Structures are given as structure tokens and as C-alpha cells.
Amino acid sequence: MRFVSRVAVLGVALVIAGCNAAATPSPSPVASVAPPTPSGTPVPSPTASAAASPSAVPSVPASVGADCSRPSLKTMTPGKLTIGADNPAYGPWFAGPDPAAGSVWGNADPNNGLGLEAATAYLIAQELGFPKPDVIWTPVPFLNATQPGPKTFDIYLTQVSYSADRAQAVDLSDGYFDDNQAIVFYKSNAISKVTTVDGLKDFKLGTQVGTTSLTYINNNIKPTKNANVYDTLDRAIAGLKAKQIDGVVVDLGTAYFVRDVELDKGGISELPTIGDQEHFSVVLNKGSSLTACVNQAIGALKANGTLEGLRQEYIVKPEGDVPMLK
């Protein structure tokens, strides 16, 4: 795993600090193409707002004076906090060595606490009074996590961007990470020479279903050919490798992983912010009694600089800038 050496030590250190302070995925068979359906909100650039705190647009108002002591928190399993994540779990959000033989996790095991979202999840859990032994991780497909209905988790972290539509189906916390979109491609493809968003219109693009990446394609790029929409990100990557598409639109952090781990001679172009600041939110059941307390935990981690420290370590310092389309 590319991210092991640079994240392992600091990732563990940050989790410990937070406690005191408050194998490459195997591409699945390519999915059939479905008509694109917009959902979500366009996104900004973290490089353009490197010092900015993650946005706060909760789907429900924070409760004033909420009792967030551990004994008062109602969780799926008494005394435990169940955290969901998509599977396979991609870097730099989830990192570390390949999962152990027989593990349900593909690519990275979030139980190790490495990667920006795994570390953030444990820090939130700690703020709520749940030490690492009292955290249970469970794999949940991205689309299942954001749809209406009962959940198999207390909280869920897998690059879920806030949108008003999603907030109708689930509770979405204040933002813990500000992000933007990017396009990944092979350098040998003519798309690598494009310098503007408008220049992407005539290329065949693809992405995962139900994501703000799909929204960005439909609302901002507005390609002349319908985008290929895949059930999972690994299927979108497989589509790129099979030359079904010219480029995959994903969030910038994931784009680094796809370029560096999945592709041979891959490239990235960052997409400009259009509209509101995109941020990642924790997903909870609609009307969850935990939502206000999760927002309090995120607020504390922002205030003490821990979330910014994670962003600097896992995103900014390792990867640096990439070309920004105009």
C-alpha cells in the first residue's frame, strides 16, 4: 500500500492525541451503464482554501445542551459504537497494510485507525466516550448508507458529501473535511491535454452512482455523451482500464489513490469549485439522537486543530498541488 509509510506513525499518534484532547482493490466486472441522475452539490478546492475549516451545514439543528455523556447515548449495541464504511476502503481515507487473511475488508482494514477517515472516526468515537476496543466496524455499500430506512450502523464515514437531497433521507453531520472534485485519466489519452472544464464536454466520462461526482459531471461539465454510471468505484476504474471511458471523476483525495495505485502512467486534473463548498459529513439514521453529539465532537476536533492536522498529513503534504482546470 502506497500510504503505509507516510501515514502509519502519525495516524496512530493523532488518534492518541485526540483521545487525550477532548492491497489494491481488484476491479469487479464492469457494470452496465445507467442513465445519469443528478444528486448532490458541486464542490470546491481544498488547495484554494487550505487554511479553511470544514464547512458546517448540518441536516438537523444541533440541540442546545444535549446530554452527550456516554451513559445517555443510545447505540445499536449497548456499550459499543458501530461505525460503517464502504468496502473496499480506499486511501487516503483508509490506509495501512493489506487486510489479514479472511478479513471482510478489501484493500484496507479501518480497524487499524489509519487514513483520514478511519482516524477521524476513532477521534469522534473517543469524544463520545467510546475507546477503540468499544468500536465495531461494519462494511456498508455507499448507496445503502445514504438511502432512507433503518441502518446497520450508528455512524458512517466514506466521503459522503452533504446535499439537501441526502439530508431528506438521513442525518448528515457538520463537515469534518472540505473537498473538491478531480478527473483521473491515462496520460496517453487526449483528455490529459485539456485545460478547461468546457474542454471535457466531448470526452466519455464515468463515475460511481449516487455521488456528487456524478452531479458535477451533469451540472457543470455537461458532456455531449451521457456519463457511464457504475455501481462501485472499482467498477468505474475497471471501465477506465477497459477504455470504455476517457476519465473517472472522483473526489481529489481518492483521485491520488487511483492514479498512484491503480493506474500505470495515470494523471489528474483538479476541477474548480462551482457553487457551494463541498464537505464530507458523518451519516446517521434520520432523527438519530446521536447527531447533536457527533456535531459537538466534530466541533471540538476542529477547535483544537486535530482535523486540520489530519488533512495536512494525509492530503496536503503527501500529494501537493495538481493542475487546476479553468
Predicted confidence (pLDDT) at residue 129 exceeds the cutoff of 90: yes
Q: How far apart are CA 288 and CA 150, in angstroms?
A: 10
Please report, as a single letter, which amino acid is at residue 206. G
- Classify residue 6 by burial, with Cβ atoms within 10 Å: 0-12, 13-18, 19+: middle
Which residue would you say has higher pLDDT here, 45 or 277?
277
Predicted confidence (pLDDT) at residue 58 exceeds the cutoff of 50: no
- b/e code 137-173 from CB counts within 10 Å (16+ = b): bbbbebeebbeeeebebbbbbbbbbbbeebbeebbbb
Q: In order of start, what are the domains of the chain with their CATH numbers?
A: 4-27+68-178+280-319 (3.40.190.10), 181-270 (3.40.190.10)
Instruction: Tell me the pLDDT band of 320, cut-offs 50, 70 and 90.
Output: low
Which residue would you say has higher pLDDT here, 220 or 253?
220
For the chain, the C-alpha Rg in angstroms (whole number) is 19
Pair 279, 54: CB distance under 8 Å: yes
125 φ, ψ (degrees, to nearest 5): -60, -45
Please report, as a single letter, which amino acid is at residue 12. V
- The overall average pLDDT reported for the chain is 83
Residue 82 has a pLDDT of 98
pTM of the predicted protein model: 0.69
